[in-house]
Each structure stands twice: as C-alpha cells, then as structure tokens.
Amino acid sequence: MGTIFDWGYIWKSLPEILVYLPVTLEIALSSMFFGLILGLITALVKIYRIPVLKQFAALYISFIRGTPLLVQIYLAYYGIPKVLEYMEIAYHWHLSVNNVAPIVFVVFACAVNLGAYLSETIRASIESVDRGQVEAAYSIGMTTLQTMKRIILPQALVVALPNFGNIFLSIIKDTSLAFIVSVVEIMGQAKIIGSRGLRFFEVYIAVSLIYWVVCVVFGKGISLLEERLRKYERRAIG
C-alpha cells in the first residue's frame, strides 16, 4: 500500500515543472508588453475623447471587464481561426491557422485582457499630472507629443507602477489557464506529472511553490524599481 503523502514526489517534480517556467514567463512578459501598448492607446483615446473611437474603447473595456479571461482565451483560440479562414476565402490572403502556435492565441487574449485594465490605470495616472506643468510645456513651444514624452509619461509612470506591478503578478498566475488550449506551461506540466503518478496534491504543492517564489522575486524587483523612480523624481524636483 502506498503512502498517503509523498514529500519526495514534490522535490522530484520541481525540476520537471521548472523546465516550463520560460513558457510561463514568455506568456506573462509578452502579454504585459502588448497590453501596455494597447492600454496606452485606449487611455489616450478616452483622454482626448476621439470621436467614434472613444465609444469603441468604452465598449471594449466594458466587455473585457464583464467576461472571464478563460472565456476570452476560448474566444481567441476558436475565433481567430474563423477570421483567418474567412479572410482566406473572401480575400485570398492565404492565411493558414495551422502555422499559428496555440501560445499566440493565449498571448493575444491575455494582452487584450490586460489592455482594458491597464488603460484605466494609465488614464488615471496621466490625469493625475499637474495641469499647470502641461500648460507650461505648451507655453515654451513643446508639441503635444513632446509634452507627453518628457513631462506627462515620466510622472505618470511613477504613479502607475504599483498597479502595473499588481497586474503583472496577476497575469503570471493567470498563465495557468493556458493549458486549456494545449499550451504546456508550469501548471500544464504539473497536471501531466500529477496524472502520471496520481500524485496531484504533491505536484500542486510543487507548482504553488514555484508561483510563490516567482511572484516574490518579481514583486521585490518592482518595489526596487518604484523606489529608484521615486528617488529620481525627488532629485528632479529638488
């Protein structure tokens, strides 16, 4: 009769699970990168109230906030191939879904999800910048782009960084959903190892330790970056 709990299985599983840590980080970092771009564009559309686009931005944010990430991954995984198939038939674009790796759909869904949440953080951070500084920049001949780049964004980044950090840590954990569309990351590998030895509890402890350590490391890095930015801001003001 086997033991009820096997400590050795945890330590044995850790190296096998860690092999797929780069996949988890690739999904998280890529999603965050594209999500920041999408979030910035959406935030600027709302701030400058661009006709038509502001309605689309509001609808986009409402839809993403009102649906689970799991559903959004399924929509991307099953919906994008339908769009590519239509484009191929209607416009002869020769787009084959067979050449698209499943991880692309996961990154797309996660980036779109992050873009909605990041846009509100970015918008609030930009609007927190003193309007007098913006007007002063315009008065000395700076363009809107120069003002945004040199005055607004550096200050907004300091305000937004804590929220960016929290959102990034959340997406690291949300990458565990990637296995539902056959992308093997650390959670997917844990399920495979668990089913192989019927030691699901042990491997889930192992994968939880990995998530914990990764989030602690990135959380500490974000805190250090935030501290450095605040010191730089204080020196600039002084």
Q: Is the pTM of this model over 0.75?
A: yes
% of the chain surpassing 70 pLDDT:
96
pLDDT of residue 236: 52
For residue 233, is pLDDT > 80? no
Nearest Cα residue to 147 out of 128, 126, 168, 161? 126
Q: In angstroms, what CA-CA distances link 152 with 127, 158, 164?
A: 9, 10, 17
**pLDDT grade for 232, boundaries at 50, 70 and 90:** low
pLDDT one-digit tens code per residue, 101-132: 899 999 999 999 999 999 999 999 988 888 88
Highest-confidence range of 156-165, 191-200, 202-211, 229-238, by mean pLDDT?
Answer: 202-211
User: pLDDT over 90 for what percent of the chain?
Assistant: 59
Quick one: pLDDT at residue 1? 40
Pairwise CA distance, residues 45 & 57, whole Å: 7
What CATH fold (topology level) applies to the domain 22-176?
Answer: MetI-like fold (1.10.3720)
Q: Is-contact 141 2, C-beta < 8 A?
A: no
Element spanning 4, H or E: none
CB atoms within 10 A of CB 130: 11
61-88 pLDDT, tens per residue?
999 999 999 999 999 999 988 888 888 8
Q: Answer yes or no: are the C-beta atoms of 20 and 206 closer than 8 Å.
A: no
Listed ranges 18-32, 76-90, 141-155; the one with the highest mean pLDDT: 18-32
What's the whole-number average pLDDT of the chain? 89
The burial class, CB within 10 Å (0-12 / 13-18 / 19+), for 119 is buried
pLDDT confidence of residue 150: 84
Task: Supply φ then ψ for residue 130, to 5 degrees.
Answer: -55, 125
